[in-house]
């Protein structure tokens, strides 16, 4: 029997709720860090995430004369990027806020073109994930400051993402970024020197990352405004990819305490979303439809 869309969404919410319990339990069992302050922060976060999961109410309701909908209530949200329900809520709020800016940009410049840009680096052991995030942030700053990039782009919205992988029992982290880039007016005019080929972007990112290998980069044009909104959601969907992070355990979920602890430490007070250029200056359309 085929499940309805709301039943499938309710199932995803229940899985995220169970995953929050697993994250809290893993942090409670996290191995100690050398710093006592780090250990105290990890245990505090473990209690917050567990209390967030306990205080969550999740059910399907069909009021008389109204459509069936999901009732999700939580008065004690932990707001952690490591808690799946709170991360989903935070991503939704961020996408909604920046989508309004994107709409204003499109109203002001209907002919503006966009592209989706992905910048990656090599995987490293999970213990180095904090250093990887710092390297990614520094490299992104150098990349977007490069003259060739500044001449080609009018602005960008960038989300940083951590992907967890396990090879031969050894946990690794891969850090990469997705950017919705606003292109300059004559970007696709091959007579102009501002077009960036795939090879040029790889060379620029390699120089910004300061490595001796060719990192994987990808850029593709976005055909229309609807696709731009979809790409925005792709850029900001989550900070930690759930793939390989959770493992099935007796019908529930389990998380490696070492992985959870290093992720919590890496995400502490770290902003995973960046805006620049036309996206950092919100412009609202006035009554005549022009941006102000």
Residue 288: pLDDT over 50: no
pTM value?
Answer: 0.87
Mean pLDDT of 72-101: 90
Question: Residue 251: what pLDDT?
Answer: 67
Maximum mean pLDDT: which of 12-21, 139-148, 166-175: 139-148
Residue 72 has what pLDDT? Answer: 83
d(CA 142, CA 178): 16
Average pLDDT over residues 145-173: 92
Higher pLDDT, 166 or 235: 235
Determine the pLDDT at residue 1. 53
Phi, psi of 161 (to 5 degrees): -130, 145
Establish how many alpha carbons lie within 13 A of residue 226's alpha carbon, considering only the half-sphere containing its beta carbon: 0
Q: Which two tokens stand for residue 151?
A: 């001449």
Does the pLDDT value for residue 100 go beyond 60?
A: yes
Following CA atoms 199, 200, 206, 209 in sequence, which dihedral angle do they give, to the nearest 10 degrees? Answer: -140
Q: Give residue limits of the domains in the chain.
A: 5-280
Question: Are 151 and 275 in contact, with CB atoms under 8 Å apart?
Answer: no
Tens of pLDDT, residues 101-111: 999 999 999 99
For the chain, give the mean pLDDT. 89
pLDDT tens across 212-271, in order?
999 999 999 999 989 999 999 999 988 898 877 887 777 678 899 999 999 999 999 898
SS (H, E, C) 232-256: HHHHCCCCECCCCCCEEECCEEECC
């Amino acid at each position: 029997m085929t499940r309805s869309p709301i039943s499938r969404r309710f199932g995803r919410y229940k899985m995220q709720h169970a995953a929050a319990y697993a994250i809290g339990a893993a942090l409670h069992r996290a191995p100690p860090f050398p710093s006592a302050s780090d250990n105290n922060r990890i245990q505090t976060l473990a209690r917050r995430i567990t209390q967030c999961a306990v205080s969550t109410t999740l059910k399907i309701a069909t009021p008389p004369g109204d459509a069936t909908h999901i009732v999700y209530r939580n008065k004690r949200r932990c707001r952690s990027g490591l808690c799946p329900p709170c991360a989903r809520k935070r991503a939704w709020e961020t996408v909604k806020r920046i989508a309004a800016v994107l709409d204003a940009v499109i109203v002001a410049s209907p002919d503006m073109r966009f592209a989706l840009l992905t910048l990656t680096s090599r995987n490293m052991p999970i213990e180095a994930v904090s250093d990887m995030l710092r390297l990614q942030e520094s490299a992104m700053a150098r990349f977007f400051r490069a003259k060739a990039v500044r001449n080609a782009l009018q602005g960008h919205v960038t989300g940083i993402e951590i992907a967890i992988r396990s090879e031969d029992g050894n946990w690794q982290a891969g850090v990469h970024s997705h950017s919705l880039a606003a292109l300059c007016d004559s970007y696709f005019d091959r007579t102009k020197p501002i077009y960036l080929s795939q090879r040029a972007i790889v060379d620029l990112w390699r120089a910004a990352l300061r490595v001796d290998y060719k990192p994987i980069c990808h850029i593709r044009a976005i055909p229309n405004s609807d696709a731009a909104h979809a790409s925005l959601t792709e850029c900001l969907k989550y900070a930690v990819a759930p793939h390989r992070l959770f493992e099935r355990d007796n019908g529930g979920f389990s998380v490696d305490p070492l992985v959870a602890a290093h992720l919590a430490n890496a995400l502490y007070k770290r902003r995973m979303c960046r805006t620049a250029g036309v996206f950092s200056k919100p412009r609202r359309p006035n009554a005549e439809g022009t941006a102000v």
